[in-house]
Every structure is written in structure tokens, then in C-alpha cells.
Structure 1
Amino acid sequence: MATPLEITLYTTLFIVSALLLAICTGNRRRNHSRPPGPFPLPLIGHLHLLGPKLHHTFHDFSQRYGPLVQLYLGSVHCVLASSPELAKEFLKTHELASSSRKHSTAIDIVTYESSFAFAPYGPYWKYIKKLCTYELLGARNLNHFLPIRTLEVRSFLGDLMDKAEAGECVNVTDELVKVTSNLISQMMLSIRCSGTEGEAEVARTVIRQVTQIFGEFDVSEIVRFCKYFDFAGIRKRSEDIKRRYDALLEKIITDRERTRRGGGGELMNFLIVADVMEDEKADVQSTREHFKLFFLDFFTAGTDTTAITTEWAIAELINNPKVLIVAQQEIDKVIGPQRLLQESDAPNLPYLQAIIKETFRLHPPIPMLVRKSVSDCVVDGYKIPAKTLLFVNIWSMGRNPKYWATPMEFRPERFLEKGNGSIDVKGRNFELLPFGTGRRGCPGMLLGMQEFVQCDWNYGAMF
């Protein structure tokens, strides 16, 4: 016969077991409409499963759990989409529900919480997007800066030829970053990142630091009980970067305003932005901070991304000599040996356009699109609640054999074959989204393509 102590112990175990069973069953019932995913740990969620390259880790998750995966990065609920169908549903069908951008402590501090790139979808964002699309990055204004782009590329190629003849080593990465930085800085501020004006070189250094800190992992933001601590010193470093960037831009803008008032030199680039943003009749009134953040957005978005993609294209051409030979033959046939490639030659060079698409497929400038939902929505039968962080893994989609034959092979010919010839990079084909799509698509797509054409094609023609 059981003693009173044993009866109490058995009863307690039974009650605890029943409660645990009820909790587990309740969780399964509550989560039956949520996407599948790995088992999360308390407090940290799935942080222990992440590798140094998130798009690689998320690709592995999609291989195991399917194209739609649920994750918890600390206290932050996330979903991962890794198929064109899901990308279309999130970014087109439910575009407004997924229209927000992820913020961070570093982003809010450095950008005065006023950046166009991270602004919520609303009047200010629409105003700046219109300014970018129809004024600064419109076809007419980009044609105005064609001589600058041509001059920078010629200088880049000339330096490479001189160093090659002298038998010197060349850091192609640094040279490409310098070219893209020069193009952006001349368009925006009429200065170069090399030469006599040291302020542009300082600007490039600060921008690099901004890009780096925006991408750093901050445990204080995703683990709830750590939010009052600055373990990585990100807040302190962000304040320092903000002070230096603000002082630098204030000096540059003040100098350009003084030149403008004195009537010296043509500051068409500066005048466009300044006049439109300072117009008292504008739909949205802009402050000087908005003005500075406009430059910051362009510098961070338009330098490293173009340089890195161009570098990947050059590497693929070197590693695939048969592709390089076909490209050179097309250049010799259409252009000839008497001159360099020009942007206007692009429509007559289908194979080189296919090389660009193939580079974007394997090496997209931004491997993942990141959005934050502002309202509940249902995707693929699963409920996606508001404030969910969405990752669309473009890198993974470019390597999916369901959509691409022999996906790991660099084969530009695939874009000349029947069925793939109509695929472009403008956001209409969701299996290839190097510039994003929809309202949040990159407004600098046309400029990025022109920079890529000039640098990559002429570099390849040199071999």
C-alpha cells in the first residue's frame, strides 16, 4: 500500500505531466497555421544555428524545411521565403503589408531616423522616390553625366594598362570601388574620391564605416532582456560616425552653396537636389538633415554593390575562358578594335547582356531582400502576423535547380534560349531580382546597369 508521501509524489507528477502535455498540445494547435521551421531554444530562438553568411544558412534551412520557413532570431519573429512564387506573393500580392524596412539602433542614430532607404511607406518616401526617379536618376539627367562616367572608366582602364605594362600588381577590388565612388561623388557633390580633394576620400571612408555598422549583428536588438545594454558598443560607434559624417557633409554642402551663390562653375547635380528639396511649395518640406541623408543613401547604395558585382563578373569571365572568348568575338564583330565600348552599344550586344544576367543570378548585389510586415497577411495558407521580419533569399533562388538547369554552372547562353530570353532584371521576373521589385525596388537600377556595362565590358575586352 502506497504511503501518503508516495501518493502526493505520484499526484504531483501526474499533474505536471498533464500540464506539459496541455501546453505542448496547445502550442501545436496555436502554431498549426504557421510555417515549418527548426525547433527554437528559449530566449535565443535559432541564433545558435546561424552561420557567418546568413544567406547560406537560410538556403540550408529551405533545403530541409521547404521554401517558407519560420525562424526566431532571439525575440524577433521571422519568415524566410526562397522561391519566386513566394517572393511574388510577399512583394507583389501583399506588397503594402510587407512595405516597411527593418530598423536598428545604428540605422536610427546615423540617419536621424529620416533616411529615404529606411523610411516607412508614406508621403515623405513617395516624395523622395519621385525626386530620384524623375529628377536625379531620370534618363535625361543620367545622359548629362555620361561624359563623367566615360572619363572615369577610361581612367580606370588606363591605370590598369599602365600597371600591366610595368608588371605591377593591381588590387582590382580597390580600383573598382574607387571608380564607383568617383562616379557617385561627382554626380552628387562634384568631387572625386582620389586626387587633390581629400574630403572625398574621407567621405568614402566614413561611408564604408556606415555600411559596415548597418550590417553588424547587435544582440541588444533581438534578445529582449539585453535591449538596455550596448555589448558591442554599436551605439557609441554610431554616434561617433554620425558626428564625423555630419561635419563632413556640412562642410561640403556649405562650400557648394558658397560656390553656387558666387556663380562659379556648373553645379547641375547639386542644384537639382537643393532647389527641389528647398522649394517651399514642395509636397513635403525637407530639412537640412533630409538633404544630408539623401547623399548618405546614394553613397551607401551605389558604391560597394556595383563594385562587388563587377568584380564577380570579371572573376567568372577569367574562370570561364570559353565565355570570355565568345564575348570578345561579339565585341570584335559589333564594335571592332578601334574604340572602347559605350553605353549606347548595349542593345547590339545580346551575349554580353546575358553575361550580366548570369552574374546577377549567381552573385546578386544584395543576396537577400529584408522587409518588415506592417499588417497581418496570409501567404501560401500560413498566417504571417504584423511586425514579422521577412527575408527573401535571392541568392538561394538563383541556385534552385527547379528554376535553373545546371544552376551552379556559369552559362550565359541560358538567357538566349527559348523561354529565358524574356527574363530581365527590372523586377518583373521573380526568379531574378537583383534590384528588388515594386515600390521598394532600387531607384538607381538604370545607373547601376550603366556603371556595370562600362566597367565590366571594357575590362573583359582588354584580355
Structure 2
Amino acid sequence: MAVTIDTHSYFFLLSTGLLSILLVHSFLKKRLKPSNKDFKPPPSPPALPIIGHLHLLSIILPKCFQALASRYGPLMKITIGASTSLVVSNAKVAREVLKIQDLNYSNRPRFPTGDYQIYKRSSFFEAEYGAYWRFLKKICMTELLSPQQLNRFADIRKEEFVKLLEVVLRSAKKNEAFDVGAELMSMTNNVVCRMTMSTRCSEGSDESKKIREFTDGIVKVAAKLSLGEVWGPLKKFDLFGFGKKLKAALTEYDELVERIMVEHERNRHGGERKRKDMMDILLEISEDDKAEVKLTRNHIKAFLLDLFIAGTDTTAVALQWTLAEIINHPRVFNKLREEIKGVVGSNRLIEESDAPNLPYLQAVVKEGLRLHPPSPMILRQNNEDCKINGYDVAANSRTIINAYAVMRDPDSWEDPSEFVPERYSTSARESHEFHYLPFGSGRRACPGSTLALAMMHVVIGSLVQCFDWKVKGGEKINMEIGAAVSGAMLHPLECYPTAQVNASIISSREMS
């Protein structure tokens, strides 16, 4: 006799089976774990069976962790299903992790995405601290992102900044709403793609656009796949197919970058390239038999992918937040414009070289990064057992430094949730680096911070110098945070721009 099971019954049986497996896994894990009466773990909120602290969390994890830390302390343990993390929420404990124990915390935790990575053990971002990681870090600081290399591409950044202003100007002339976030994303993507492999989104070439689509898809699928960690031993079965989607997206990216690499190799050996981009430098290093580490094609592709992900989305999001704060604070907007007018004048655009002479612009950017860090949560993993804030931490514990909470801590900052650029003129915050962590700290701090700041100063400065901004649909910009890893805005930033300078200075044809 045939047996039929309706859909509801199927999902009930599946859910029951999954929960049973998780329950048994959790029970065995606790029973088999050796007891140590002297072990003093960090405090933890009350947890429920199987789901742990899931019922206490929201989709905006940095804010949620900040609220929990106010009750359970600056170092606490959070469990979600089979996943456990320690969360750091103030400067004192962040200093212990990122400075005092920097070498011990020199690794980043691994996620389930590694099982579906076609560039296994090649990613600079996820690489273990060792010879390979140190070699790539040295290349970053001395070759790829050195001041000399950044200066070589200053004209390319200027071209892209001016193209952005031309798009804003067209919207102003037509009295159309301007999608700030979308255009900033396009601009930063073109800058990164041109600096890394001399390509941009244009009429004749759409590699930059494709790279953006691939990396955006990779980030979204990887984030969903990482959530599968809560399933413990079941994560390896890829129940929702995110692993297959990640592998497919990476394969498409690989095919595109391989074509660009082949073209670079042909042009390099044919003597057609006038300026070395990052891909040229990496290909040269891969051909050097005396190099400390032999770079493969997969190493290069994985490294470039890290740059595309880290250098595009985070910078564009930080720019969007900072401009939104300025528009919402007319006093700051007017004060900044007056400073730019006094230093730069009205007959030319602000340039990167002007930034050192514009202290208020620097303070505005710094305050935007404090309130809206590009990476709200900094991930680390310790190699050995240690003590942090008086508590015992077992080796290989995942630790999250909640930069969002650290930089809004009322014990470190006066009126921590307020946008007040003037605070930097009266307080020596630069010497208190662990109160201020927009780019992380320690040996695994972001190597691209110099490039990000250069872009932010000139883009924010030029958007304030050249245009007034009227918010579409209201007087104030909605500052709700979305659920993205980068802490992006929940709602699109759309404004009506009005030109405040002579249109002739906003022209790619007039550039020096």
C-alpha cells in the first residue's frame, strides 16, 4: 500500500529531525567537553535550548550587541544554535585583543563559505597568519597601496570624481532626484577596477559592471551561507543550496578575471602598457623566481576579489552615510562649505592635495566614520588560551570587536550618538586609537585606509562645494540602518541637487 505525506507533514518531520540532531549534538558536546572548575568564562545572557540567544537578537547585530553589552558587560559570550562568539564592546577590552594580545589574535575565524571556495587558502582576507599572509601584507604596503602607487593613480581617481559630479549636474539641470548611493557605488567600483586592472564601466567595456555584479552576488550568497553555521554538523549538507550558488558565482568571476589576466600578459610582453596597475604588479611578482612566496593565478584572483569586496561597497557606504549626516546638519554643511571656499576658492574643484589644509573637512569625515564605520564588526580568532578582561578564553574562540559600540561608548565619547565634528578640535582622540576603530587596528588593520580616506575627503568636499541638496520626500534623511554586513542605509538616499558653482569647473575636459 502506497504511503502519501502532505507538504505540511513533510516539513514538520524535516524540522523535527533537524532539531533532534541539533539537540543530540549540543548534548554530546556538553557531556564530552572536559570540565575545568577553575575556568572562568565571560558572562552570557540567559540562553534557550538549541537556539541559544537567537531570541534576543535582531537583524541589526551591532546595535543589538551594544544593548546586550550594557547589561552583561564589555566582554560577553553569545551563542546562536551551534555557533558561539565572544563580543567586545569597549575600548579597554578592544585594546587587550588588538594590541596586548595582537599576535595571539592574528587570525580571522573560518566560515562555512570555505567549503565552496574555488580559491581555497588563497584569500588574503581569510589567510592564516603566516609566511603567505605576511608576504601579501608587505606587497600591499610597499607596492599595491603604497603612497607612490596611490599617487600614480591620482589622475584616474580625479577623472572618476569629475564624472560623478557631471552626473549630479545633469540631474540638477533636469530638476531630477539623484540616487546618491547607486552613483557612489558606481564611482568607487570604477576607481577600484581601474586601479587594479585598468578597466571601467563604459560604452566599450562592461568588465567593471560585471565585476560589480559578481562581487555583489558573492557577498550576499556568502552571508546567507555563513548563517548556516547555526546548524552545526548539518551545515555541510548545503540544505538551501547557497554553497552551490556561491561556487557558481565564483566560477563566473574567475572566467572574467582570467580573460583580463591573459590580455594583461599579452600587452605586458608586447610593450603596450604605459602604466602598471595592480594586476601587472602581481603578475610580475608571480614570475619572480626569487620571490619569498610563489604567487599562483588563484592567489592573484583571490586577492583582487578581496580588494573589490573591501574597496567598493564599504567606501561607498561610508560616503553615503557621511553625506547624509552633513545634509541633516545644515550648520555643519555651511561651515564646511565656507572652509572649502576660503582655501580652494570658487574657480576650481577641491583636490586630494587640498585635504591637509582643510581640518574641518577631515573632522567631518572622521566623525562620519565614527558613527558609521565601514566594518561595524571586526572579527578575530585567538591561537592559544588566554585571559581577556579577567575571563578565561579558550583557544580558537571567535571574537567580535563591535566597532559600532566602541565608537558610541558614552564612557569614551561625549554625546556619543550625535554628529559633532568639532569634538576633534578639542580632544586628542588620535592618541586614543582604541576608542576609534573605523579601519580596525593591529597587524590585520585595513591596508586600504589611506586610499579610502583620500577618496572620502575629495568626494565629500566636492559634493558640498558644488551643490545644495534637498531631500526627496521630506526635510530630513531617514537614518535607519539596514541588515547588510557593511551597515548600509536601509532606505535609498535620494536628493534634488542644485548647482552652486559655475558648471564650467565641473568638466572632465577641463582637468589639469
Tell me how far apart the structure 2 counterparts of residues 69 and 217 of structure 1 sit (CA, whole Å): 25
1:29 positional shift: 7.9
Note if contact 2:113-2:226 (Cα within 8 Å) is conserved in structure 1: no
- Aligned match of 2:72 in 65, 72, 81? 65
Select which of 257, 264, 267 maps to 2:272.
264
CA distance in structure 2 between the aligned counterparts of 1:453 and 1:362, rounded to whole angstroms:
16
Give the distance between the partners of 2:160 and 2:115, measured in 1 at CA.
Answer: 34
| 1:346–1:398 distance in 2 versus 1, CA, 3 Å | same
Name the amino acid aligned to 2:218: V
Contact 1:80/1:393, CA 8 A, preserved across alignment: yes
Give 1:401's match in structure 2, choosing from 410, 421, 427: 410
Match of 2:128 in 1: 120
**Alignment partner of 1:215: what SS?**
helix
Give 1:352 deviation, angstroms.
Answer: 0.8
Question: 2:213 aligned with 1:216, yes or no?
Answer: no
Please tell me whether the aligned partners of residues 210 and 300 of structure 1 are also in contact (alpha carbons under 8 angstroms): no
Task: Judge conservation of contact 1:116–1:125 (CA < 8 Å) in 2.
Answer: yes
Q: What one-letter code is carried by the residue in structure 2 that aligns with 1:195? A: E
**Structure 1 residues 357 and 56: CA distance shift in structure 2, 3 A:** same
Aligned residue in 1 for 2:62: 55
Identity rate, percent: 38
**Range moving further from structure 2, 368-377 or 229-238:** 229-238
What is the aligned counterpart of 1:434 among 433, 438, 451?
438
Secondary structure of the corresponding residue to residue 79 of structure 1:
strand
Deviation at 1:200, TM superposition (A): 1.9
Q: What is the one-letter code of the residue matched to 2:452? A: G
TM-superposed deviation, 1:199: 2.1
Deviation by residue 1:200-246 (Cα, 9 ceiling, x = unmatched): 21111001112222322545423324233212312111111121111
TM-superposed deviation, 1:122: 0.2
Summarize the alignment of residues 383-462 of structure 1 with structure 2, pairs less than 5 Å apart. Answer: 383-417=392-426, 420-423=427-430, 429-462=433-466
Corresponding residue to 2:193 among 185, 206, 227 = 185
2:261 is aligned with 1:253:
yes
Q: Write out per-residue CA displacement over residues 174-206 of structure 1, whole angstroms, 9 at most, x where no aligned residue.
A: 110111111111011110034320222111100
Q: How much does 1:407 deviate?
A: 1.3
Over the residues paired in the alignment, what is the CA RMSD in angstroms? 2.0
1:284 aligned residue: 293
Q: Distance in 1 between matches of 2:362 and 2:65?
A: 30
Say which of 74, 84, 91 aligns to 2:91: 84
Quick check: 1:168 aligned with 2:176? yes
Q: Which residue of 1 aligns with 2:13?
A: none
What is the distance in 1 between the residues matched to 2:393 and 2:203? Answer: 52
Distance 2:113 2:35 in 1: 37
How many residues align? The count is 435
Aligned 8 A contact 1:114 1:290 in 2: yes
Distance in 2 between the 1:139 and 1:451 partners? Answer: 14
In structure 2, which of residues 238, 242, 264 is the aligned counterpart of residue 234 of structure 1?
242
Q: What is the SS of the residue equivalent to 1:77?
A: strand
Gaps of 5+ in 1: 1-22
- For residues 304-323 of structure 1, the C-alpha deviation after alignment (integer angstroms, 9 at most, x for no partner) is 10000000111011100000
- d(CA) in 2 for partners of 1:83, 1:52: 21
Quick check: 1:335 aligned with 2:339?
Answer: no
SS of the equivalent of 2:224 reads coil
- The reply on whether 1:44 has 2:51 as its aligned counterpart is yes
Provide the secondary structure at the position in 2 that maps to 1:187. helix
8 Å contact 1:69–1:81 — kept in the other structure? yes
If the length of structure 2 is used for normalisation, what is the TM-score?
0.81
SS in 2 for 1:399: coil
Q: Are the equivalent residues in 2 in contact too, given 1:74–1:222 (CA < 8 A)?
A: yes
Counterpart of 1:348 (choices 330, 343, 357) is 357
SS of the aligned residue for 1:227 comes to helix
Q: What amino acid is the match of 1:440?
A: R
The 1:399/1:135 distance shift into structure 2, 3 A limit, reads: same
- Tell me: CA distance 1:434–1:334, structure 2 relative to 1, closer, same or farther (3 Å): same
For residues 63 and 396 of structure 1, the distance between their equivalents in structure 2, rounded to whole angstroms, comes to: 10
Matched, 1:319 2:323: no
1:99 counterpart residue number? 106
Q: Deviations over 1:324-372 (max 9, x none)?
A: 1110111111111111111111111111111011101100001010112
AA matched with 1:438: G
- Secondary structure at the aligned position of 2:64 is classed as helix
Query: Does 446-455 or 187-196 show the bigger shift?
Result: 187-196
| 3-state DSSP of counterpart to 2:214 | helix
Report the CA distance shift for 1:329/1:42 in structure 2 as closer, same or farther (over 3 A): same
AA aligned opposite 2:404: W
CA offsets 1:125-184 (integer angstroms, 9 cap, x no match): 000000010001111111000000111101111110121111122211111011111111
Bigger Rg, which one: 1
Q: What does residue 496 of structure 2 align with?
A: none
The answer as to 2:302 corresponding to 1:293 is yes
**Match in the other structure for 2:474:** none
Deviation at 1:267, TM superposition (A): 4.3
Query: Which range moved further: 69-78 or 233-242?
Result: 69-78
Q: Secondary structure at the match of 2:86?
A: strand
Q: Identify which range, 192-201 or 374-383, moves more after superposition.
A: 192-201
Any runs of at least 4 consecutive aligned residues in structure 1 with deviations exceeding 6 A, and if so which?
26-29
Give 1:159's aligned amino acid.
V
Deviation at 1:27, TM superposition (A): 11
Q: Which amino acid aligns with 1:57?
A: C
Are the aligned partners of 2:407 and 2:437 in contact in 1 as well (CA < 8 Å)? no
- State whether residues 355 and 458 of structure 2, in contact with CA within 8 Å, keep that contact through their aligned partners in structure 1: no
3-state secondary structure, aligned to 1:268: coil
Question: Do 1:343 and 1:453's aligned partners in 2 also have CA atoms closer than 8 Å?
Answer: yes
Residues 339/107 of structure 1: CA separation in 2 closer, same or farther (3 Å cut)? farther
Structure-2 separation of matches of 1:150 and 1:187: 12
Q: Distance in 2 between matches of 1:31 and 1:216?
A: 38
Distance apart, 1:51 and its partner CA: 1.1
Q: CA deviation at 1:30?
A: 3.9
SS in 2 for 1:430: helix
Distance in 1 of aligned mates of 2:309 and 2:439: 15
- Other-structure match for 2:385: 376
